[in-house]
Amino acid sequence: MSLSDKVKNYIDQHYSEAISLEEIAKAVKANKYYLAHVFKNETGFSPLHYVSRRRLGEAQNLLINTDMSITQIAATVGYNNSNYFQNIFRRYMGMTPGSYRKKWKS
């Protein structure tokens, strides 16, 4: 398994927790600078950008498939601050979580 695969697996299992580059590096037994370099070369994203994308992907799923509040979803995917979650969501998705839910929920 490649270093990037190990990093992805770790992030996929821990994305809802507070996560840092140092923790990822320790978990996969690699230097954090080397890890960040290799991961970005192979995926096009920094490890922490991948964490954000992973969290937002799960948030999209929860917005469409549950009736959880936006605050509950933010906490579930690893954001302790609902306003911060909404700002990040808007930056990546181009709309608020509430608008996303209205647009895509059947």
| pLDDT for the residue numbered 106 | 64
Digit-by-digit pLDDT tens for the chain (106 residues) are 999 999 999 999 999 999 999 999 999 999 999 999 999 999 999 999 999 999 999 999 999 999 999 999 999 999 999 999 999 999 999 999 999 999 997 6
Burial 55-91 (b: 16+ CB within 10 A, else e): bbebbbebbeeeeeebeebbbebbbeebeebbebbee
| pLDDT for the residue numbered 105 | 76
